[in-house]
């Protein structure tokens, strides 16, 4: 159990949150032009760093808002 800081509510227990995967994955500018392989890459392939990772989180059991946080995947420590 650890506390995660919601930008709207402050620190809350981690069970109140829902993980949303890598942040900053841009929607393709021209999706129709993508090959099947490129589309699959956009939909399924994500970075998997050991260390600093920008992630989307949702405060699902609180204010229900999405936010971006930076977490160290090795230590689980959140920045800020």
Partner 1 sequence: MESPVSTETLRPTGALDGWAGRFAELPDSVALLAEPFHAMVDVRTADPAALEGLVGAPLPGPNAWTGGERVTAIRLGPDEWLLTSPFLAPPELEAAARAAGAAALPGARVAVADVSAQRTTVRLRGAHARDVLETGCAIDLHPRSFGAGSAAVTLLGQAGVVLLGLGPSDYRVLVRSSFAAYLAEWLLDAAREFR
Which stretches of the chain bind Zn ion, using CB under 5 A?
6, 8-9, 59, 62-63
By a kind-dependent CB cut-off of 5 to 8 A, residue 16 interacts, out of partner 1, Zn ion, none, with partner 1
When the beta carbons of 20 and 62 are compared against Zn ion, the nearer one is: 62
Q: Are 54 and 73 in contact (CB under 8 A)?
A: no
Residues that bind partner 1 (CB under 8 A): 8-10, 12-13, 15-16, 61-65
| CA-CA-CA-CA torsion sign (75, 59, 7, 24) | positive
Q: Are 53 and 69 in contact (CB under 8 A)?
A: no
By a kind-dependent CB cut-off of 5 to 8 A, residue 10 interacts, out of Zn ion, partner 1, none, with partner 1
Structure tokens belonging to residue 46: 């994500």
By a kind-dependent CB cut-off of 5 to 8 A, residue 64 interacts, out of partner 1, Zn ion, none, with partner 1
How far, in Å, CA of 58 to CA of 18, rounded?
A: 5
């Amino acid at each position: 159990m650890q506390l995660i800081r919601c930008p709207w509510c402050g620190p809350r227990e981690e069970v109140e949150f829902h993980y949303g995967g890598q942040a900053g994955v841009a929607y393709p500018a021209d999706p129709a032009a993508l090959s099947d392989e490129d589309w699959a890459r956009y939909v399924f392939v994500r970075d998997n760093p050991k260390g600093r990772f920008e992630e989307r989180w949702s405060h699902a059991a609180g204010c229900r808002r999405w936010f971006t946080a930076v977490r160290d995947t090795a230590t689980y420590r959140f920045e800020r």
